[in-house]
Amino acid sequence: MLEEHVDYYINDDGNFVFTEAYHLKRGFCCKNGCLHCPWKQPVNQEETKK
């Protein structure tokens, strides 16, 4: 179960933002360029245009 302020928070726009702790628990990078990604994978702009 996700815990607010540990695994995620809700930003000013009302969006859920996953924390670094959540990403580490998940154990892999989804390559979506998440704000708190501990793996810091850049988003490939060419792939997002497809």
Residue-range domain boundaries for the chain: 8-48
Q: Global pTM?
A: 0.73
6: confidence class by pLDDT, cuts 50, 70, 90: very high
CA–CA–CA angle 25, 2, 22 (5° rounding): 30
pLDDT digits (tens, 9 = 90+) for 21-45: 999 999 999 988 899 999 976 656 5
CA distance 7 to 5: 6
